[in-house]
A and B are shown apart, each in its own frame.
Chain A
Amino acid sequence: MEGVQLNLISKDKLDKMPSMEKLRMILENVKEGTIVVLESGLTPEEETKLIELTMLEIDHDKFIGIEVETYPQKEKSFFSKLFGKKGGRLTVIGPANRLKTLQKQDDLITALVQFG
């Protein structure tokens, strides 16, 4: 059967992985054409690190970058700002030439996945 591979990665698995290992795994998957779905998403710091790593991997022929779909962070209180760890929300990451955002709202993301 032909199609696009989706890797759905659980929060439990993500929580056990160091940031760098997590980001390397995502990028390797995406470079192979896989769409990665993260149950708990990435922290803002991890998201920017992922962009940095992506920029280093762009080769202008086979890999032109990534498309990331996630919701904005919820607003935090003063105390959670001080002591809380900022977690991410459900996130979908794919190769930019296959995954395209159609519409993004506060609570709904519509995306298109291109075959082949």
Chain B
Amino acid sequence: MGLMLRLKKKFGFILRLFFKKDRMRIGIYGPPNAGKTTLANRILRDWTGDIMGSASDVPHETRRARLREGVKIEVDGKSLMLDIVDTPGLATKIDFHDFMKFGLSEEEAKRRAKEATEGVIEAIKWLDDLDGILLVMDAAEDPFTQVNVTIVGNIEARNLPLLIVANKIDLPNASPARIKSAFPQHPVVPISALKGLNIDSLYKSMAERFG
């Protein structure tokens, strides 16, 4: 790894304390099906009237990172200019048989699996070019997955500002408290990106964390 990159990772957080960027590049990360694209769509719809891309129940629907530049968010008189990167879901395994359960043919499933592996690599590469992370977790699922642990550890090592989004609180078995207790060192905002629940609280937290 280049010396400059290592220095940036190590001391970047000190520089950020003194030199605020006027435009932050924020990555939306998380495991597949956590609701990353639904959240990206919610943010864009609320502030630009547009959407980022299509969301689906089939895992790895987003297989290429998507960048939307110049999203202006205004909270309590403060404005925040963001470039938002919606990344493919991170995973340690990709089995094409899982896609066939959703009705895809073997050929389609294998193609999707291959694209998904490329998407995971792309998502990891993007970490080098971000100023902050929104980590989306499914509040109805166990938060102690290896993907979550690895992402949090990596973001901590890079000293990037992190906001954990406990998504899908509209589901009956959702438990944002479980996420809070799993990662007590980071702020957690419970929302439903799909229904728009508590979304203003997310924007407020984003302004505090990334502004």
Residues of A in contact with B (beta carbons under 8 Å apart):
43-45, 47-48, 51-52, 54-56, 58, 60, 64-73, 75-76, 81-82, 86, 96-97, 101, 103-106
Most chain A CB within 10 A, of B144, B153, B185, is at B153
List B contacts of A45 (CB < 8 A).
1, 154, 157
Contact B113 A60, beta carbon cutoff 8 Å = yes
Q: Is B142 an interface residue (CB 8 A)?
A: yes
User: What number of residue pairs across chains A and B have CB atoms under 8 A from each other?
Assistant: 97
List B contacts of A86 (CB < 8 A).
153, 156-157
Nearest CB on A from B66, distance (A): 19
Q: Supply 9 further A-B pairs (C-beta < 8 A) apart from A60-B113, A69-B146, A106-B182.
A: A44-B153, A44-B157, A47-B150, A55-B94, A72-B153, A72-B183, A76-B156, A86-B153, A96-B93
Q: List 28 A-B contacts (CB under 8 A).
A: A44-B156, A47-B154, A48-B127, A51-B124, A52-B121, A52-B124, A55-B94, A55-B118, A56-B121, A58-B93, A60-B96, A65-B95, A66-B92, A67-B92, A67-B146, A68-B150, A69-B146, A70-B146, A70-B149, A73-B152, A76-B156, A81-B159, A82-B10, A96-B92, A97-B95, A101-B146, A104-B144, A104-B145
Q: How far is the CA of A55 from the CA of B94 in the complex (A)?
A: 8
Contact B118 A44, beta carbon cutoff 8 Å = no
Chain B interface mostly: helix
Residues of B in contact with A (beta carbons under 8 Å apart):
1, 10-11, 13, 90-96, 110, 113-114, 117-118, 120-121, 124, 127, 142, 144-146, 149-150, 152-154, 156-157, 159, 182-183, 185
Nearest CB on A from B171, distance (A): 20
Chain A interface mostly: mixed
- Closest residue of chain A to B109 (Cβ to Cβ) is A60
Q: How far is the CA of A97 from the CA of B98 in the complex (A)?
A: 13
List A contacts of B110 (CB < 8 A).
60
List B contacts of A68 (CB < 8 A).
92, 146, 150
Contact B95 A72, beta carbon cutoff 8 Å = no
Contact A72 B92, beta carbon cutoff 8 Å = no
Contact A64 B94, beta carbon cutoff 8 Å = yes
List A contacts of B90 (CB < 8 A).
51
List B contacts of A105 (CB < 8 A).
144
Q: How far is the CA of A93 from the CA of B117 in the complex (A)?
A: 19
Q: How far is the CA of A69 from the CA of B147 in the complex (A)?
A: 10
Q: How far is the CA of A75 from the CA of B186 in the complex (A)?
A: 10
Given A44-B154, A69-B146, A105-B144, CB of A51 within 8 Å of CB of B159? no
Nearest CB on A from B163, distance (A): 17
- Closest residue of chain A to B183 (Cβ to Cβ) is A72
Given A51-B120, A60-B114, A64-B94, CB of A104 within 8 Å of CB of B142? yes
